[in-house]
């Protein structure tokens, strides 16, 4: 997670899950516990997965289960006018969009130097 | 359509609109409509307000300002 992308002054970064804020705090603490760095951007809560559903990225494998609403691991870049400029939606939960790929996309969109 | 089914539909619509109003404080309200396929490049992103792990309310349209935004959806803490 912390390696996915570092928030900087040129872009806003938000992580989003179905966890509530307290669970997200625990997650952030768990990540920073090894002393290799912490999460320096807000983790947002979408407990009713309304935003996840509005993006159309809910993983249907979890429908009717305890973890219903969990998203496909996805990264969206939203331009300053609010449009989707780049998107990566992983259908295989073991695959994650990686930091380098997101950074390269931001560079090619001339959103970062 | 008979009167009974018309009344049922009217009640359903009323219920839906009330529900939407109740939820609108939480997460962007009417803009958040579920969809079957993933949002694609070029489409407008739905606006939202969500609570952060430091209990701050973040609204995409106001946080965006003049900067691009990266949204990372992940599976959560489990």
pTM of the model: 0.80
With CA atoms as reference, the chain A residue closest to B66 would be: A80
**What's the gap in Å between the CA of B13 and the closest CA on chain A?**
19
Contact at CB, A75 and B36, closer than 8 angstroms: no
Least Cα distance to A102 among B70, B46, B59, B77 occurs for B70
Mark the ranges of chain A whose per-residue pLDDT is less than 50: none
pLDDT at B16: 52
Contact at CB, A54 and B51, closer than 8 angstroms: no
Please identify among residues 46-85 of chain A the ones whose CB lies closer than 8 Å to any CB of chain B.
46, 48, 50-57, 67, 70-80, 82-85
Q: What is the pLDDT of residues B10-28, one digit of tens each?
A: 655 555 554 444 444 454 4
The C-alpha atoms of residue B50 and residue B32 are separated, in whole angstroms, by 12
Mark the ranges of chain B whose per-residue pLDDT is less than 70: 1-31, 78
Query: What are the structure tokens assigned to A110, written together?
Result: 């001339």
ipTM for the complex?
0.91
pLDDT at B21: 44
Q: Report yes or no: B17 at the A interface, CB cutoff 8 Å.
A: no
């Amino acid at each position: 997670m912390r390696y996915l992308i570092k928030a900087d002054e040129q872009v806003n970064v938000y992580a989003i899950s179905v966890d509530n804020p307290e669970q997200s705090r625990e997650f952030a603490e768990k990540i920073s516990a090894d002393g290799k760095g912490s999460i320096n951007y807000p983790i947002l809560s979408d407990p009713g997965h309304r935003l996840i559903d509005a993006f159309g990225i809910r993983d249907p494998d979890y429908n009717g289960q305890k973890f219903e609403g969990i998203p496909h691991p996805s990264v969206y870049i939203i331009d300053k006018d609010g449009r989707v400029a780049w998107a990566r939606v992983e259908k295989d939960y073991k695959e994650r969009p990686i930091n380098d790929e997101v950074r390269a996309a931001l560079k090619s969109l001339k959103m970062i130097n | 359509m008979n009167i009974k089914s018309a009344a049922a539909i009217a009640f359903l619509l009323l219920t839906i609109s009330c529900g939407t109003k109740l939820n609108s404080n939480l997460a962007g309200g009417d803009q958040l409509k579920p969809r079957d396929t993933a949002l694609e490049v070029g489409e407008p992103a739905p606006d939202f307000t969500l609570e952060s792990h430091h209990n701050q309310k973040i609204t995409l349209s106001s946080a965006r300002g003049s900067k691009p935004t990266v949204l990372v959806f992940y599976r959560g803490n489990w």
